[in-house]
C-alpha cells in the first residue's frame, strides 16, 4: 500500500473536538488506501505551560529534565488521538520518539535527528495499524534520555519519518490552507501558491514566514520528500489541495518573484570608527559566534583615510542587549569609537528562483521603495532573494509595495 505521513500542529489538536476532526482527516486517507503515520504536536498552549513549570521549578534547571517535561505534551496528544481512532473502529497505537526510534544528538532542547529506523513502523503497517507518533522528540542513544528538537520540531519529525519509511508524500496540516505570496493579514490580495520550490520555501521559512520550520524544509529538499501544506480546518470530506513543496523543475510556470516575507525579530548594530586592519572582523564576530548569536546583513563602509571603518550588521531582536554587552566588553580588543543600535527595524525580503535568469529585479524594488519615501538601511542578496532593512513603521507599506510591484496581486 502507498504510505502517507500526516502532521498536525498545536492549533489543529487544541481540544477534543479538534482531535476528533483530525481523526476524520486520518480516516479519509486510510479509506483512500494509505498506510498512515500521524505526527502530532502538543495541544495549543501546552508546551508554553510546561516550559513555565520548568522555569518555576528551578532557575538553572537540568536541560535533560526540561526535555522529559516538555516532551510530555506530544505524548498526551498522541495517546488521545489513538484512542479516538480506536473508538471510531480504526486500529491505531501511539508511539513515543524513543519507540520508533528517532535517534538524535545529545543537545537537549535543540537536538538534531541523526537516524530513524522505520522498520518497526512498517511492521505496524503490516498489521493494519495507524501509527500516531509524538512529534518534537527523540532519544539520545548514549544516555537513553528523551531529547526535544526545538520549537517547530514536529514538522522536522514528520518529514524525517516520511524520508525514513519512503512515504509517497508528507502532508503538514496547519491553521492556514497553504503557502501564500505574503501574509494575508498585511496584503488582503495575497494568493495561495499551488506549488513552491524547496529553495524558495527554505528562504521564506528562514526570512520570517512561520508556515514551516526551516529544518523540516531542509530535510524535505535533501530527501526529495513530496510535501503539502494544508489546513486541518477544512471539511475532512472536502479538503483543499494546499501548496505542494517540490523541485524547481516540477513548476511549469515560474514567476520571477514568488513571495514577499518579513521578519520583525531584527536589531541593527553599528560600530563607528573601527580600526581598519586585518583581523578586525574576526575580533567583532568571533565573540558573537561563541555566544551562539546569529549575525546577518553585514555592511562595511571604509573611511576616506582608510584608517577606520564603520561596521553595520543585524542580529535577532531577542539578542540585542546581549550583543551590545559582548561588544562593549570587547571594545579594547576591537578598537571602535562608539556603538549605536536600533531595535525598531524590520527585514523585508523578496524570494524567487526566477531571479537567477532576470536582471534588475532588486533595482526595481529599490526605486519603488524610494518613491514611497522608505529609506533602506542595509541590503543583502543571494541568487534567489534580496532583503532590505527598513524602519518598522514602514513594514506594511513596503510589503504591499513589493507585492504589487512584482504582480503578485494578480490571479
Beta-carbon count within 10 A of 199 CB: 20
Q: Which residue in this structure is represented by grid cell 479516538?
A: 84
Give the whole-angstrom CA distance, residue 299 versus residue 313. Answer: 6
Alpha helices of 214-344 — where are they, by DSSP H? 214-223, 280-290, 320-329, 331-334
3-state secondary structure of 389: strand
Q: How many other CB atoms are there within 10 angstroms of residue 204's CB atom?
A: 27
Reported in sequence order, the residue ranges of 43-185 that DSSP labels E, i.e. its strands, are 92-95, 102-104, 113-116, 130-134, 137-140, 145-148, 169-174
Query: How many residues are listed for the chain in this entry?
Result: 411
**Cis before 101? omega within 30:** yes
What cell was used for 223?
A: 530527501
- Residue 210 annotated as binding? yes
The tally of CA atoms less than 13 A away on the side-chain side of residue 396 is: 6
Structure-block grid coordinates of residue 42: 502538543
For cell 541568487, name the residue: 383
The CA angle 261-267-273, to the nearest 5 degrees, is 130
Q: Does the annotation place 29 within a ligand binding site?
A: no
Q: What is the dihedral of CA 105, 107, 112, 115, to 10 degrees?
A: 20
Q: In angstroms, how far apart are the furthest CA atoms of the chain?
A: 79
Whether 66 has a binding-site annotation, put simply, is no
Take residue 209 and report the three cell numbers written for it. Answer: 514566514
Cell 503538514, located at residue:
172
Q: What cell was used for 189?
A: 490580495
- What CA–CA distance (Å, rounded) separates 189 from 185? 9
Q: Is 406 labelled a binding residue?
A: no
Q: Which residue has the cell 528562483?
A: 353
411 is known to lie in a ligand binding site: no
Whether 227 has a binding-site annotation, put simply, is no
Annotated binding-site residue? 77: no
The verdict on whether residue 395 carries a ligand-binding annotation is no
The annotation status of 174 as a binding-site residue, yes or no, is yes
Nearest to 199 by CA among 248, 155, 159, 257: 248
In whole angstroms, give the CA distance from residue 351 to residue 348.
Answer: 10
Tell me the binding residues for ATP: 7-10, 174-175, 180, 185, 210-211
Tell me the binding residues for substrate: 47, 74
Tell me the binding residues: 7-10, 47, 74, 174-175, 180, 185, 210-211
Amino acid at each position: 500500500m502507498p504510505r502517507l505521513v500526516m502532521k498536525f500542529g498545536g492549533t489543529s489538536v487544541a481540544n477534543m473536538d479538534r482531535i476528533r476532526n483530525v481523526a476524520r482527516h486520518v480516516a479519509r486517507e486510510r479509506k483512500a488506501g494509505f498506510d498512515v503515520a500521524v505526527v502530532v504536536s502538543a495541544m495549543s498552549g501546552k508546551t508554553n505551560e510546561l516550559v513555565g513549570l520548568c522555569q518555576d521549578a528551578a532557575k538553572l534547571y537540568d536541560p535533560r529534565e526540561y526535555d522529559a517535561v516538555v516532551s510530555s505534551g506530544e505524548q498526551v496528544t498522541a495517546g488521545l488521538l489513538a484512542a479516538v481512532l480506536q473508538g471510531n473502529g480504526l486500529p491505531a497505537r501511539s508511539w513515543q520518539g524513543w519507540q520508533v526510534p528517532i535517534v538524535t544528538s545529545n543537545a537537549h532542547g535543540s537536538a538534531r535527528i541523526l537516524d530513524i529506523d522505520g522498520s518497526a513502523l512498517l511492521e505496524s503497517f503490516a498489521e493494519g495499524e495507524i501509527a500516531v507518533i509524538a512529534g518534537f522528540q527523540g532519544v539520545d542513544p548514549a544516555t537513553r534520555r528523551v531529547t526535544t528538537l526545538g520549537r517547530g520540531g514536529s514538522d522536522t519529525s514528520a518529514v524525517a519519518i516520511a524520508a525514513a519509511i519512503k512515504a509517497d508524500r508528507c502532508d503538514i496540516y496547519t491553521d492556514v490552507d497553504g503557502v501564500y505570496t505574503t501574509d494575508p493579514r498585511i496584503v488582503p490580495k495575497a494568493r495561495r501558491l499551488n506549488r513552491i520550490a524547496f529553495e524558495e520555501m527554505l528562504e521564506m521559512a528562514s526570512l520570517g514566514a512561520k508556515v514551516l520550520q526551516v529544518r523540516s524544509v531542509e530535510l524535505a529538499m535533501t530527501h526529495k520528500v513530496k510535501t503539502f501544506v494544508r489546513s486541518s480546518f477544512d471539511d475532512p470530506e472536502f479538503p483543499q489541495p494546499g501548496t505542494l513543496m517540490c523541485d524547481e523543475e516540477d513548476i511549469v510556470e515560474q514567476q520571477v518573484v514568488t513571495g514577499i516575507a518579513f521578519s520583525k525579530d531584527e536589531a541593527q548594530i553599528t560600530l563607528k570608527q573601527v580600526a581598519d586592519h586585518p583581523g578586525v572582523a574576526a575580533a567583532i564576530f568571533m565573540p558573537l559566534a561563541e555566544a551562539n548569536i546569529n549575525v546577518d546583513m553585514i555592511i562595511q563602509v571604509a573611511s576616506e583615510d582608510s584608517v577606520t571603518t564603520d561596521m553595520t550588521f543585524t542580529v535577532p531582536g531577542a539578542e540585542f542587549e546581549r550583543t551590545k554587552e559582548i561588544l562593549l566588553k570587547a571594545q579594547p580588543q576591537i578598537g571602535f569609537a562608539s556603538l549605536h543600535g536600533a531595535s525598531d527595524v524590520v527585514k523585508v525580503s523578496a524570494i524567487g528562483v526566477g531571479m537567477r535568469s532576470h536582471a534588475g529585479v532588486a533595482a526595481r524594488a529599490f526605486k519603488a521603495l524610494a518613491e514611497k519615501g522608505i529609506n533602506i538601511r542595509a541590503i543583502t542578496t543571494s541568487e534567489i532573494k534580496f532583503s532590505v532593512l527598513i524602519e518598522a513603521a514602514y513594514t506594511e507599506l513596503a510589503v504591499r509595495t513589493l507585492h504589487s510591484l512584482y504582480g503578485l496581486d494578480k490571479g
